[in-house]
Chains A and B, each alone.
Chain A
Amino acid sequence: MKNLTIPEEELMLPGHTACLGCGATLAMRYALKALGKNTIVTIPACCWAVIPGVYPARTLEVPLLYTAFEVTGAAISGIKNALEATGNDDINVLGFAGDGGTADIGIQSLSGAVERGENVFYIMYDNEAYMNTGVQRSSSTPKGAWTTTTQVGKVRDWKKEKKKNMVEIMVAHNIPYAATASIAFPEDLIKKLEKGKNIKGPKFYHIYATCPTGWRISPSKTVEIARLAVESKVFPLYEVDHGVYNITYMPKKNVSVKEYMLPQGRFRHLTEDEIKEIQSEVDKDWNLLLEKEKWTQSLNKVQ
């Protein structure tokens, strides 16, 4: 029998208030399984500001500080420094923010915290738009997507810009550890967080978190779509450990971008040609990632 690698302890209780099929709940559940009880979490404005429940209910079994939208990087810095000032250096401090709170309004305080080398965990759970306010475009919304602020309408005003690459932005900060992870690959996700416990300094995780409500899919397809995102190379699983790239899951099936997009209502307006264009961009990014892996690993060997 194969050993189970996912810890059994649940630090996220049932009874949360998320939508059916919410991927972000899985992201939190797995993250806490990996980090354990000895963790303080801070959450800014985002879906997860609501998911723990209305006062006095709380679905998390760890200390939780709610903060304003743009301050996750500053909040984890404050908690960590206060702990260090009182000799409690061994407690994990986790900032858990959405894509808008990370890639848009919160990027400044995140950049500050990472540049200062704060010894903290930062998770961006990415549902690819402002979902808590009702599906508005963020800089992490993928090219091609409909949102309530990038509507298709008569002139086809869907999002034309590519998704912001937060891992690359973190790498540019010389961050000790940055990784992508997916709710469809919990073993990989947990392994990466556990690895982070042994790395001093900031750790950044970009976690793909399906949003059935905003993506116009059935809540039963949450994990399936997340799996297709990885298999189609739309969302590759990799880590950058002290500058060295490592692809942690090599897609096994030959899944096209079209197969990934087809079940999702948010992409239904795209023409064959438009999907082809996105496919070629995905291919290019994947090849670039392969080259980065090869190159940085070769540099590492030279050293």
Chain B
Amino acid sequence: MKKMLTGNYASAYGAKVSKVKVVSAYPITPQTTIVEKIAEFIANGEFDGKYIRVESEHSAMASCIAAENTGVRTFTATSSHGLALMHEMLHWASGARLPIVMSVVNRSLGPPWSIWSDQQDTISQRDTGWMQIYTENNQEVLDSIIMAYRIAENEIVMLPAMVIEDAFILSHTMEPVDIPDQADVDEFLPDYNPKFKLDVSEPMGFGSLIMPEGPFMEFKYKGHESMNNALKIIDETDILFKKKFGRSYGGTVETYKLDNAKYALVMMGSTASTGKEVVDKMRDEGYEVGLLRIRSFRPFPKDKLRNYLSNMKSIGVFDRSYTFGYGGAVFSEVRNTMYGKNIPIKGYIGGLGGRDVTMNLIEKIFLDVVNMSEKGQDKDYEWVGLNGDKRWSQ
């Protein structure tokens, strides 16, 4: 059934058709319409689950952890400062190997206060042991939530996943979205039935103290291995999803006109759709440019990146987040991945606090990347689109 949906409503429908048993959430702009839509489903008797209206995001994640540990599928959604407040419990969820799925609406972190989009909130949670799937449109938001449960609950993965959408650009913008039939989703996503849970008929302890001699380190190593397993499972799930629903997103990585390209730009999130427009325009003008969109930042698809990018003459990486004192996180990961290939790679930091990432700006970046292969690389990375900077004016 096709409906006009915002990214946030697509997210709420994603949770609904995934037959989540416990939702625990706390409102924050721009996530709020997700939890409102779920409240509407509950009020209308369309959602067979419990809804805990907690008093903070920290408690949202803590109660999802406890509920998931009791053996049921859980869902929550947050953004920005809410995600930052959850930080402690994000580690707990992955450490406890709980396949919780969470919608995150990318929003900048204050101060100064800003409710608009950038990826600083999720990038800051890189090392919490969560899978991170960045989406580009509202259909992808809904589909990715269904897929995320299937990936996370796979017994060789058993890790939590964030499905990430950009604030306002997706969260509050309507697009036609196909809501899959419940029967099809039920076939694709069976009920969650974990091997271990809190059960009075078989009492077990979860999360007890471990001495340095073990097996703390072994538990963490298993988590690391499982995250690597997820690379394969994400790609496989995308193929299975296409078979069932006819839609595919490339799994861990999506490429656009990259096959015969010489110059690539790496992006994440909805800016990639603007990037694709620029690729089309520049292709018409004779530039051999292409785009690579990372969908899965964790696990990081290093083999695929090396495969797709090894023949490029030069590469640009666009980060919608920052780390004071160095280049962006995506830039760092891509350059590490391409180590030894002797390809010039430059990072571009922009679009912070919701600043528009225009076609004009992306074209300038592409031209810089093209020039770099001939004239040499001027800088490792730079900030683009700052007020007053004529070189990178939007």
Contact = CB atoms under 8 A, between A and B. Distances in A.
A55 B50 CA distance: 33
Interface stretch (B120-128, B162-170, B203-211): B203-211
A116 interface: yes
A66 B205 contact: yes
Contacts of B67: 78-79, 81-82, 85
A110 to B, nearest CB: 10
B200 A71 contact: no
Interface in A94-130: 108-109, 111-112, 115-116
Contacts of B60: 74
A248 interface: no
Nearest to B72: A82
A81 B200 contact: no
Interface string A51-63: 0111110101111
Contacts of A65: 66, 69, 198, 205-207
A69 to B, nearest CB: 9
B386 interface: no
Contact of B66 (A42, A49, A91): A42
B138 interface: no
Interface of B is mostly: mixed
Contacts of A76: 66
Contacts of A49: 209
Nearest to A118: B52
Given A60-B205, A65-B198, A74-B66, A85 B50 contact: yes
B106 interface: no
B199 interface: yes
Contacts of A66: 205-208
B59 A67 contact: no
Given A49-B209, A77-B54, A85-B50, A39 B200 contact: yes
A172 to B, nearest CB: 16
Contact of A91 (B49, B88, B200): B200
B62 A85 contact: no
Interface string B81-96: 0000000110010000
A45 to B, nearest CB: 11
10 contacts: A53-B209, A71-B89, A74-B60, A74-B66, A78-B67, A78-B70, A83-B70, A85-B21, A85-B49, A109-B62
Interface of B: 21-22, 24, 49-50, 52-56, 58-60, 62-72, 74, 88-89, 92, 198-200, 202-211, 215
Given A65-B205, A79-B70, 13 more contacts: A53-B208, A60-B205, A63-B198, A64-B206, A65-B198, A67-B62, A67-B207, A70-B58, A77-B54, A78-B22, A81-B22, A82-B67, A85-B67
